[in-house]
Chain A
Amino acid sequence: MKAVLGLEDGTVIKGKGFGAEGVALGELVFATSFTGYEEALTDPSYNGQILMMTYPLIGNYGVSYENFQSEGIKTEGFVVREICDHPSHPKSKSTLHEFLEKEGIPGICDVDTRMLTILTREKGTMRAALITGDDDGDRAVQLAKEQKPISELDLISKVTCAEPYQIKGRGKRFVVMDLGVKQSILSGLSQRDVDIVVVPADATLQQIQEYEPDALLLSNGPGDPMQAKNAISIANDLVGKIPIFGIGLGHQVIALALGAKTYKLKFGHRGANQPVKDVDTGKIYITSQNHGFAVDSDSLNDTELRVTQVNVNDSTVEGLRHTSLPIMSAQYYPEVVPSPRDVEFSFDAFMKIIGGCGA
């Protein structure tokens, strides 16, 4: 199958198509972990984006359907150097090609992904169009340019749950506002015996309060945090009332709710090797991250939030904590797959704050 990738700067890359025939629109972003493609594809935070893996051989262990982070693929398209036609793993149920085809997601392979990564690093994240079944480069570039920038897209409504649901536990009750929550975050809470109620991103304050939560967790999710208007207002309302915890997008939402600012990173952090330093202890943890926006550390000066963790590579804000209230957040994924398991501690730190049962 023919395939072509067009970027907003006019770059046209032809390759081989796999997965579904069609068109994918979104920002082209790269992820640097060499395992975890099944988890990445189903991570709702990648919504609105065409995901490119920097590792050249993808699909070696097939698709098990056991490691989904949501009910299906959430990325718009998939770019790899080489796709594996003969995966080898006892748990594999299908090839990546079959998986993408079934999910209706276009993919492109046989392209110089390293070149595209360098281009992204140098120019910053670009809008892209991936066409399979055709290789009209001009059209791809046209489509790349025509689409709205990610900051103007409401992606949360596409990935949040339609109705509230409960995952019973014997411990404290958490309301999780689903901005595109990863399955592994819910599993992480369940492992700590948390009584979980997941609510949609447009849930009202009243709806949330009816569950009489011990804490609110603002989940990860896709796109620009400024788009999470309801979540920002809910967080604002609940400050000082119940403990609040944020992960990824949820972390940015907390910052915005408390008066800080966020900005778009040049090309984001996506991978399983990001070093995060704890400001108090000086200890460094390797974390998994997937974010294109970050909290502006200067803007925190006028808030009651304090930076607890920073990225060692570029000093961006990775963790926040309120100076007096039980509010804390992490930009990275604590105990989320694909991820190193170095930072389970931040879940536990939060459990401790709210007096729950830390594992």
Chain B
Amino acid sequence: MPKRPDIKKVLIIGSGPIQIGQAAEFDFSGTQACKALREEGVSVVLVNSNPATIMTDPETADTIYIEPLRAEIVAEIIAKERPDGVLAGMGGQTGLNITSELAEKGVLDRYDVKVLGTPLEAIYDTEDRDRFKHAMERIGEKVPRSRAVLSIEEAIDIARELGLPVIVRPAYTLGGYGSGIARTEDELRDIVEKGLKRSRIHQVLIEESVLGWKEIEYEVMRDAKDTCITVCSMENVDPMGIHTGESIVVAPVQTLTDTEHQMLRSAAIKIIRALGIEGGCNVQFALRDDEYRVIEVNPRVSRSSALASKATGYPIARVAAKIAIGLELDEIPNDVTKETPASFEPTIDYTVLKIPRWPFDKFVTADRTLTTAMKSTGEVMAIGRTLEESLQKAVRSLDIDMQLGDGQWNEEEIRALLQKPTDERLFVIYYALRHGFSVEEIARLSKIDPLFITKLKNIIDMEDVLKKDLSTETLRIAKRMGFTDARIAELTGRKREEINDLRRKSKIKTTYKLVDTCAAEFEAKTPYYYSAYETQCEVVPSDKKKVLIIGAGPIRIGQGIEFDYCTVHAVLALREEGIETHIINNNPETVSTDYDTSDKLFFEPLTLEDVMNVIEAEHPYGVMVQFGGQTSVNLAVPLEQELKRRPDLKTVILGTSPASMDIAEDRDLFSKLLKKLNIPQPDSDSATALDDAKEIAKRIGYPVLVRPSYVLGGRAMEIVYDEGDIERYMREAVRVSHEHPVLVDHFLQNAVEIDVDAVSDGKDVLIGAIMEHIEEAGIHSGDSACVIPPQSLSEQTLQTVRDYVKQITLALEVKGLINIQMAVKDDVVYVLEANPRSSRTIPYVAKATGVPLAKIAAKVMIGHALKELGFAEEQKIKQVSVKEVVLPFDKLPGADPILGPEMRSTGEVMGIDYDFARAFFKAELSADNPLPTKGTVFISGRDEDKPALVEIAKKMQDIGLTLIGTAGTAHYLTERGVKIDVIQKIHEGSPNVTDMMRKGGINLVINTPTSKAALKDGHEIRRAAVDYNIPYITTIQAARAAANAIVAIKKGKTTIKSIHEYHRELFNR
């Protein structure tokens, strides 16, 4: 049946900010869905709170709302836009939950909005664990024995019946959020209590354990005519008990016989039919011997579907969107072959391997154990013709400080870690193999199939061969197994360059193969490549002008989706200019790795060698390193050196020179530059040894900010207050980065921090926006809420800021983007750092001002002048846009939810309105930190903050909020005329503040930590706020903004306008 004629306008609900369990995959899926629907002439209305996405670009959809993803707000958008249908399955769990809520509230019926694709009943059947169990039983599919419960007491009864351990799964949560393995009754109580709180319907499932079984997944699609296909089978290397998002996953299945594969495939199809899903779904099975259980069905696109799309080349979201508006699979062309339809099953002739990327480098106190709940922020995928190759490529794609062979554990630790793994599992297995453990023993302890462990052993065996023999044949085999020149050099005691030369002399060249959905059975039209050491290379270089853009790799804290946004924009800009644009990247969740984003996609790790191989194959005229965040910037200098070493290659690094980048990155050089320009900076110096550091700190005066040079997201950055502190720090920091010195800066207390994004063509400087941070200096800029335009700075200060930006940018001879961070204290503007590259605020600036900075930068880098592009003046704006961050504390048990110089946030949201208070209110709402307009606020502040708390407390009291506080704060406020009740601290006994929080008696927590280190009590209060899902604020600035926001909301409504409407107001001056 062709497209439904009654569907002319469709609402797509996005997934909101990047958080653990919900990364860039929904930007990829949502963007694909928008394209797919618009191709069919359907008008698309999109709502998403995350400005850092491609889907919220004005070009992606017809009407875009950057608004909080709350049912009441989406209802207003529906009332305004009157869409014919809603596509629920593109925005992950968030999209499904909101659609369910809208249906339950009668909004969909009232405005006659049809749920497209998967019906709501199917959503309920899969999300409500009890209904799911019954749905499976009706069709004779086995699920683990389980019972849905609404209380702890019920949970304990069931657990006694099933026997411990049991799995606890809350209904309607994402990424296994709130779930866990309960091995004891105490653990059970704890997990169930939190799980009930986190479930939208306060229900958890107590489930029989299938720990240690194989975990197998199928991505299935179905259309209205009941045609079903499986897009991809995936096998988790890690067994049941570790969330699939936390597992190493391979595609296709590797250790299953055809009988087993067909058994599960048939079951998956039976399930999608029984549930009546129209579109895609993911079915997870546990398998042991001939037995299997259905674990879970996700009736929507997911991280797995993104992985399956990238693994096979089959665009699941695109096809699902078309099915949703009535098309059938055989009416949708296979985009890859163009000639065959989408009604086939992809088959692949390579192996795909995915490894998650975890944030434990940022959260030293967090529990690193891998379990049923997700803790990773992103993932990498690698494609190879051997599993060894995919594995080694994936490991180096992670961009972490470890490679196979690193790490050290004693026998006892190895055994423990094999049984209860952490993020280091792969390295532990390698180490165990190196230290006498047999494949069988490791398999027995870890429940990982011996096939995979054997592959690791093959790598080890090859290393031993390489150490003895470096013949051409050995080298060829090693390359086929994914060894880099650098690794071979390390193993053989030679230089990387030597191995590289030897390899090229021996004619061992990288070949590129196509990802084509059909194992070469049909000719593919899509330019999606991976490298392998084979006979035939399928890349045919054109003689067009070409540019290679280096992507950002996995989503991690400090390097999020913003850099993928920048990468994609650079591509779009160059394609507009008629330049053939290539991308190299390794993150399967992203828009940049969609095969139709660029002219050629190289799905590869982002190391010097992998990038050089592409350059050798394609001979682009230029390569761009400034869009992919620190990962690509770090490649600038080595790449330049390697290109110099290779006179046969004429490729140049486009934009700001690596030398200038180096000046900005090197604190010493940068400091000299500022001195020359006469621009104030906090006193600073760099230290290479402990004594050095102590002396400098003494000279500058405590507190000081210490950090290693070349940092990403403020890694290992800290404010230290005394000598003891600095000693401890130096021990840790030096371990983090031994090649570069430690920087010691004077810390500007209570200063206002500013971020500026700008573009320069070498002559002119375009300021994108000046952003004022809401949190004070000292809190990492990536973690601070900020606002465009600045709210508290004088015009004179802003002028100084602009002058400094221009001076620094021109002095650094920037061609392209630059981000400069400053702090204002007592009307003096200090420059903290400058990064001549894309920044995480670029998309936010673009959405707030309508100026596409990344695109402009890309065009400047290929030689256009700003004036010629028509962007010479800083854009004046009428609206206020607040960026707020999303923190992962709720997903990381044990981590202290406090902000500091180390970046901790995973994602961001934007609130936009005509004044700061309302924009801030929206931003907080979007960040799932809804500010209460009634109820009780708990206040506890450090002494320095108490004076400021008076005004805040009064405002809250005046609008009818009830206040309670700890004794010190309460007395201080009472003395100053605030009505506030005292509640006991935790150590003062029961009932105390956490008891009250647990009972739901507190609607907002304001707790500013003591200045030196978080006191235990403060930590427990903040932790409880996180655990019981209560909005919380930890800085006085945010508290002040919150009070004003609540007052404003009490007085008037927020504005609901599309980004197009806002931008029209700006440009139709």
Interface residues, chain A, with chain B CB atoms under 8 Å away: 13, 30, 32-36, 38-39, 54-57, 60-61, 64, 67, 81-82, 84, 86-91, 111-115, 117-118, 121, 271-275, 277, 282-286, 312-314, 337-342
Establish whether residues A34 and B521, one from each chain, have CB atoms under 8 Å apart when the complex forms.
no
> Which residue from chain A places its CB closest to the CB of B535 in the assembled complex?
A112
Among the listed A90, A117, A274, A313, which residue makes an inter-chain contact with B349, where contact means beta carbons less than 8 Å apart?
A: A117
| Complex alpha-carbon distance, A64 and B523, angstroms | 35
Chain B residues closer than 8 Å to A111, beta-carbon distance: 535
Chain A residues closer than 8 Å to B992, beta-carbon distance: none
Among the listed B258, B351, B451, which residue makes an inter-chain contact with A86, where contact means beta carbons less than 8 Å apart?
A: B451
- CB of B542 within 8 Å of the partner chain: no
- CB of B200 within 8 Å of the partner chain: no
A91–chain B nearest beta-carbon distance, Å = 7
Establish whether residues A272 and B330, one from each chain, have CB atoms under 8 Å apart when the complex forms.
no
| Complex alpha-carbon distance, A36 and B261, angstroms | 9
Which residues of B (511-543) have their CB < 8 Å from a CB of A?
513, 518-523, 534-536, 538
The prevalent SS among residues of B at the interface is loop
> Which residue from chain A places its CB closest to the CB of B520 in the assembled complex?
A117
Interface residues on chain B, number (Cβ under 8 Å): 53
> Which residue from chain B places its CB closest to the CB of A13 in the assembled complex?
B535
Contacts A60-B254, A121-B523 aside, 9 further interface pairs with beta carbons under 8 A come to A32-B349, A33-B258, A34-B252, A60-B255, A114-B520, A115-B536, A273-B347, A340-B262, A342-B266
Establish whether residues A275 and B341, one from each chain, have CB atoms under 8 Å apart when the complex forms.
yes
Contact with A along B317-346 (1 / 0, CB 8 A): 000000000001110000000001101111
| Complex alpha-carbon distance, A277 and B909, angstroms | 47
Establish whether residues B387 and A57, one from each chain, have CB atoms under 8 Å apart when the complex forms.
yes
Chain A residues closer than 8 Å to B385, beta-carbon distance: 56, 81-82
Among the listed A32, A60, A338, A340, which residue makes an inter-chain contact with B518, where contact means beta carbons less than 8 Å apart?
A: A32
Chain A residues closer than 8 Å to B226, beta-carbon distance: 283
Chain A residues closer than 8 Å to B265, beta-carbon distance: 340-341
Chain A residues closer than 8 Å to B228, beta-carbon distance: 286, 342
Establish whether residues B330 and A312, one from each chain, have CB atoms under 8 Å apart when the complex forms.
yes
List 13 A–B pairs whose Cβ atoms lie within 8 Å, in order of A's numbering. Answer: A32-B347, A32-B519, A36-B258, A56-B385, A61-B255, A88-B449, A112-B535, A114-B349, A275-B343, A284-B225, A286-B345, A312-B344, A314-B340
Knowing A67-B258, A312-B330, the reply to whether A54 touches B266 (Cβ < 8 A) is no
Which residues of B (924-974) have their CB < 8 Å from a CB of A?
none
Among the listed B266, B346, B450, which residue makes an inter-chain contact with A340, where contact means beta carbons less than 8 Å apart?
A: B266
- CB of B842 within 8 Å of the partner chain: no
> Which residue from chain B places its CB closest to the CB of A37 in the assembled complex?
B258
Establish whether residues A337 and B262, one from each chain, have CB atoms under 8 Å apart when the complex forms.
yes
Chain B residues closer than 8 Å to A61, beta-carbon distance: 255-257
> Which residue from chain A places its CB closest to the CB of B449 in the assembled complex?
A88
- CB of B259 within 8 Å of the partner chain: yes
> Which residue from chain B places its CB closest to the CB of A88 in the assembled complex?
B451
Which of B343, B454, B520, B522: most chain A Cβ within 10 A? B520
Which residues of B (284-341) have their CB < 8 Å from a CB of A?
289, 328-330, 340-341
> Which residue from chain A places its CB closest to the CB of B334 in the assembled complex?
A313
Which residues of B (183-238) have their CB < 8 Å from a CB of A?
225-230
| Complex alpha-carbon distance, A241 and B520, angstroms | 45
- CB of B269 within 8 Å of the partner chain: yes
Establish whether residues A112 and B534, one from each chain, have CB atoms under 8 Å apart when the complex forms.
yes
- CB of B854 within 8 Å of the partner chain: no
Chain B residues closer than 8 Å to A35, beta-carbon distance: 252-253, 256-258, 261-262
Establish whether residues B349 and A87, one from each chain, have CB atoms under 8 Å apart when the complex forms.
no
> Which residue from chain A places its CB closest to the CB of B351 in the assembled complex?
A57
- CB of B617 within 8 Å of the partner chain: no
Which of A38, A88, A341: most chain B Cβ within 10 A? A88
> Which residue from chain B places its CB closest to the CB of A337 in the assembled complex?
B258
Chain B residues closer than 8 Å to A275, beta-carbon distance: 229, 330, 341, 343-345
| Complex alpha-carbon distance, A341 and B534, angstroms | 35
Establish whether residues A272 and B345, one from each chain, have CB atoms under 8 Å apart when the complex forms.
yes
| Complex alpha-carbon distance, A65 and B385, angstroms | 28
- CB of B597 within 8 Å of the partner chain: no
Establish whether residues B451 and A286, one from each chain, have CB atoms under 8 Å apart when the complex forms.
no
- CB of B1032 within 8 Å of the partner chain: no
Chain A residues closer than 8 Å to B266, beta-carbon distance: 340-342
| Complex alpha-carbon distance, A340 and B262, angstroms | 6
A214–chain B nearest beta-carbon distance, Å = 29
B883–chain A nearest beta-carbon distance, Å = 46
Establish whether residues B520 and A273, one from each chain, have CB atoms under 8 Å apart when the complex forms.
no
A25–chain B nearest beta-carbon distance, Å = 23
Establish whether residues B344 and A86, one from each chain, have CB atoms under 8 Å apart when the complex forms.
no
Chain B residues closer than 8 Å to A312, beta-carbon distance: 330, 340-341, 343-344
Establish whether residues A56 and B350, one from each chain, have CB atoms under 8 Å apart when the complex forms.
yes
Establish whether residues A121 and B257, one from each chain, have CB atoms under 8 Å apart when the complex forms.
no
Chain A residues closer than 8 Å to B351, beta-carbon distance: 56-57
Knowing A112-B535, A112-B536, the reply to whether A87 touches B518 (Cβ < 8 A) is no
